[in-house]
Amino acid sequence: MITRRGLLEAAGGALAFGGGAALTAPARGAESTNSSLPSLSPLLPAGTRAEAVLDTLPGKKPLIKLTYRPPNYESPLAYLRTAITPNGEFFVRYHLADIPEVDAGTWKLNIGGEGANGNLQIGLDDLKKLPAFEVVAVCQCAGNRRGLFEPHVPGVQWGPGAMGCARWKGARLKDVLDLVGLKKEALEVVFDGADGPVLDKTPDFVKSLPVWKAIEETTLVAYEMNGEPLPHWNGFPARIVAPGWTATYWVKHVISITAVTRPFDGFWMKTAYRIPVGKFPLVARFISQETAANTPITEIVVNSLITNPADGARVKAGRKTAISGIAWDGGYGIRSVEISADNGKSWTEASLGEDPGKFAFRPWSYEYIPKWRGKLLLAARAANKIGQIQTQELIPNPPGYNNNVAQTVALHVT
């Protein structure tokens, strides 16, 4: 387990900010191996493909380790074939390397700030006394598929597995804030977690949400994940869940919730996790944090993934080939998934599977009969209920966010 005492050395400022190559030393109590590493996309940087290993963190199945300090582990493609991602298969994402093991019995959540009518400290038992609410939602790193950018950009070189979908249970953040009451002047709600930097010069990971998003019915202070207490690596004992928005706002091991009347200007809001204004067709905006040039990343863009068969698989000509995957967006709901076998000249609609909720993965399937032997390129694209469609061309941006190019897999027809 990675703990405060176990992380006395920093990997350097670059790693603290999500850059750098993967470290090869296994986490304490973990086992690493290259022998059964899933096939990695050839679009990933050569260094990432050379350094990545399967690493088994305590309580987790083998995940693809991209960095060790801080721990950044993505889910293999095979873990993303269902609407719900089991806890043991869920990805792990940290910005900071000083990660304590929190004692649920002594954990406290501080609530207040100059935008609140008072200040209060509660424990986990107090949190659980509030009305419980559940939501099925995708938790996705803003940099998911960053490693597939061309040209490559700095940051953790994620493939498609920096995401998962779970059933989250907890108290509504609105009910937590009601314990102290918000002033009418309150503009944002700020969150801090128990994890921290190893070096003093590294900014603590502190995030904020606009009040309107913080008090939505589905925004939670969650303490359960898929019917179990939150795993250590996913924020035990409580974390913020902001359905529809990227995981940068889903603060883990949360210890303080502070209402403020001015835009929060911490590094991870003012400088990091920002995208050029007008680059993406986003509906949800974080107005108080916008500048003329850039804006905070907010909602998840519409996306899909072919999870079976894998890229490079062999299939038979003249026989039905089962194509399947998942689709998701920022909470508007998936309207359709389409498949193309002719480089996007024509598209055929796939069948949508179960619908666990508008914030969740939506499984889909399609049967295709290859006619000719040789290389076959299959592409998938999703559209949501407000008319947004996956892009055919990468939308460049310096941090490598919101990669939702329609995915293509190459199959060998024999």
CA 91 to chain CA mean position, Å: 8
**pLDDT at res. 29:** 42
Closest to 269 (Cα-Cα) out of 254, 256, 281, 251:
251
Structural domains in the chain, sorted by start: 108-137+160-296 (3.90.420.10), 303-413 (2.60.40.650)
Tokens describing residue 219: 């925004």
Among 381, 113, 110, smallest CA distance to 261 is for: 113
CB within 8 Å of 357: residues ≥ 6 apart: 135, 136, 137
Paired sense of beta strands 132-140 and 163-172, if any: antiparallel
What is the Cα–Cα distance from 205 to 324, expressed in whole angstroms? 37
Does position 79 have pLDDT exceeding 80, yes or no?
Answer: yes
What percent of the chain is modeled with pLDDT above 90? Answer: 88
Q: Tokens 């990997």 map to which residue?
A: 11
What are the angstrom distances between the C-alpha of 7 and each of 98, 193, 199, 266?
6, 17, 11, 24
Separation of alpha carbons 379 and 316, rounded Å? 18
Q: List, as one string, the DSSP characters of 210-231.
A: EHHHHTSTT-EEEEEETTEEPP
Q: What is the pLDDT of residues 23-47, one digit of tens each?
A: 333 443 444 544 468 778 999 999 9
Residues near 8 by beta carbon (within 8 Å), at least 6 away in sequence: 198
Summarize pLDDT for 83-125 with one digit per residue, the tens. 999 999 999 999 999 999 999 999 999 999 999 999 999 999 9
Q: Residues 370-385: pLDDT tens digits?
A: 999 999 999 999 999 9
Phi, psi at 343, each rounded to 5°:
60, 35
Q: What angle do CA 23, 28, 29 make, to 5 degrees?
A: 125
Q: What is the pLDDT of residue 192?
A: 98
Checking if the pLDDT of 363 tops 50, the result is yes
On whether the CB atoms of residues 316 and 370 are closer than 8 A, the answer is yes
Indicate if the alpha-carbon torsion angle 386, 387, 391, 397 is positive or negative: negative
To the nearest 10°, report the CA torsion of 156, 161, 167, 168: 0
C-alpha distance across the termini of the chain, in Å: 46
* Residue among 229, 111, 216 nearest 168 (CA): 229
Torsion of CA 17, 23, 29, 31, to 10 degrees: 130
Average pLDDT, the chain: 91
Q: What pLDDT was estimated at residue 82?
A: 96
Q: Which two tokens stand for residue 149?
A: 């950018």
Report whether 20 contacts 14 (CB < 8 A): yes
Rounded Cα distance between 215 and 64, Å, is 35
pLDDT of residue 36: 61
In this structure, are residues 141 and 158 in contact, taking their beta carbons and an 8 Å threshold?
A: yes
Lowest mean pLDDT among 15-19, 61-65, 211-215, 320-324: 15-19
Quick: pLDDT tens for 217-270.
Answer: 999 999 999 999 999 999 999 999 999 999 999 999 999 999 999 999 999 999
Instruction: Answer yes or no: is pLDDT of 314 > 50.
Output: yes
Per-residue confidence (pLDDT) for residue 200, from 0 to 100: 86
* pTM, full prediction: 0.91
Beta bridge partners of 363: 326
Q: Check residue 26 and give its pLDDT.
A: 40
Which is more confident, 131 or 2? 131
Q: Residue 211 phi/psi, 5° resolution?
A: -55, -40
Within 10 A of 143 (CB to CB), how many other CB atoms are there? 27
DSSP assignment letter at 270: H
